[in-house]
Amino acid sequence: MTLFRKKTPPPIPYNRAAQEPAVRSSICTGEMTLGFLDRQTGRFHEYELARSQSDVEAFCRRVGVEPKDIKRIY
């Protein structure tokens, strides 16, 4: 039994047929928002704010995609 270990966050459930993970970036400030893009309407649903590239990589691991495959919206 280990007392001090990092807890792994659970995977993020989403509808893979209707949504795709995306990162919305601001051109002026560089602020990044992680979320899902609705494929039918094109609407972006915010999930969380990313403070660094490591937050984006952690989001990709939880969703199950590669960081190079995630869609960027400006």
Among 4-8, 51-55, 68-72, the minimum mean pLDDT is found in: 4-8
DSSP category for residue 70: S
How does pLDDT run across 16-28, given as a tens digit for each residue?
999 999 999 999 9
Mean of the pLDDT values across residues 34-39?
Answer: 95
How far is the C-alpha of 31 from the C-alpha of 38, rounded, in Å? 21
Q: Are 24 and 57 in contact (CB under 8 A)?
A: no
Q: Residue with structure tokens 């990709």?
A: 60
